[in-house]
Amino acid sequence: MIMRTNIKRVFGLLMMMMVISIASNAQAKKTVYILATGGTIAGQGATEVTAGYKAGAITVDELLSAVPEIKDIANIKAEQVANIGSQDMNDQVWLKLSKRVNELLNQDADAIVITHGTDTQEETAYFLNLTVKSDKPVILVGSMRPSTAISADGPRNIYNAVATAVAPESVGKGVTVVMDDKILGADDLAKTNTLSVGTFQNPNYGPLGIVYNGKPIYTRQSLKRHTINSEFDVTNLSELPRVEIILSYSNATSLFVDAAVKAHVKGIVTAGVGNGNLTTDLQNALEKAVKNHGIAVVRSSRIMTGPTAQWDEINDDQLGFSASWFNNPYRSRVLLMLALTKTKDYKEIQRMFSEY
């Protein structure tokens, strides 16, 4: 009788210890929300070897089933925010995503991982870099091969993104992209190759670091304003000012400026030649757009690296233009859209381009 009571006590104790260890382990693991938007990472190909596939074909739960190991390092919660090829990314998804990220980071989320197509990942990353109001890690991840491909890069990228998201040293780094074992800053992100798994680079500053052996190793951090140090807030916005990009090249005319004026755009970013230079026709049309229609103009460059600097061949002050400095045309468009929610003054816009 006594023996049976003792066995019951021991069994009860063992059960209690197991429950406590599971609970403490769960408590010890951080909570990471995975927000899915589509892209190749959620793509499905006809076979494991052919190139063709449909982006955004599988759900976030199907996507995560390919990388069960993330449950060993984090408490995972998942939401489907959209399921599109990122060539169709748009202002409404951006606003929905930024607001949801801020809500979750104000609740039980210790970090956010966003799965996203690679075509416009650099634009979404920079938009979030300027609108997330938390220093908790927010990491975008994509893939260059569909989930059904041999050596699909998505599962490894997702694991690395979650491992980076739960690392204490990832706090305060701004929005990042984790792909191909690299940690890349949203402040200088560019897709540099149409097909390669190593496509994403930080062409001016170099990567923030690497992911090695399931841990992030940081080798630089951003000097640009971002997240909690950003003055931009989309909480009460339901739309964003329309800004278009106009390319310059030999013999470029005023054609697209005239169209932009007719469309009542609020801002124009130019992807100029060299240090943001423009044909005379184009420059004259832009000067009129500023002076006669109050359109904000920011000069950027089609060149991959180096700044679009002030005080060179173009007198920005005389024309009422701003120079983009280290922001390429795509980040410049994002920054000008947000700048125009606060000001139309070109000198104030210039300050913003020097700080973000």
What is the contact surface with ligand DGL in residues (CB under 6 A)? 39-40, 55, 85-87, 117-119, 142-144
Q: Min. distance of Cβ 39 from ligand DGL in angstroms?
A: 4
CB of 60 to ligand DGL, least distance (A): 15
β-pair partners for 247: 271
Q: Choose between 87 and 343: whose C-beta lies nearer to ligand DGL.
A: 87
Between 85 and 329, CB nearer to ligand DGL = 85
The minimum distance between CB 49 and ligand DGL, in angstroms, equals 17
CB of 148 to ligand DGL, least distance (A): 13
CB of 285 to ligand DGL, least distance (A): 32
User: What is the distance between the alpha carbons of residues 173 and 137, in angstroms, rounded to a whole number?
Assistant: 7
Residue with smaller CB distance to ligand DGL, 6 or 193: 193
**Residue with nearest beta carbon to ligand DGL:** 117
Q: Which residue in 57, 17, 21, 51 sits closest to 39, CA to CA? A: 57
| 40 has catalytic annotation | yes
Any idea which residue has 């210890």 for tokens?
A: 17
For residue 329 the two structure tokens come to 């045309």
Note the Cα 47 to chain centre separation in Å. Answer: 30
Q: How far is 347 from 104, CA to CA, in rounded Å?
A: 36
What's the chain's Rg over C-alpha atoms?
24
Which of residues 50 and 87 has its CB atom nearest to ligand DGL in the complex?
87
Nearer to ligand DGL, 117 or 137 (CB): 117
Nearer to ligand DGL, 142 or 329 (CB): 142
Report the alpha-carbon distance of residue 162 to residue 65 in Å, rounded: 14
Element (H, E) at 213: none
Active-site residue, selected from the candidate residues 5, 31, 37, 40: 40
Residue 176 CB: number of other CB atoms within 10 A?
Answer: 30
| Phi, psi torsion values for 90, nearest 5 degrees | -150, 170
Residue 334 CA neighbour count, 13 Å, CB half: 28
- Residues 85, 184, 247, CA angle at the centre, nearest 5°? 60
DSSP reduced 3-state for 150: coil
Residues labelled catalytic: 40
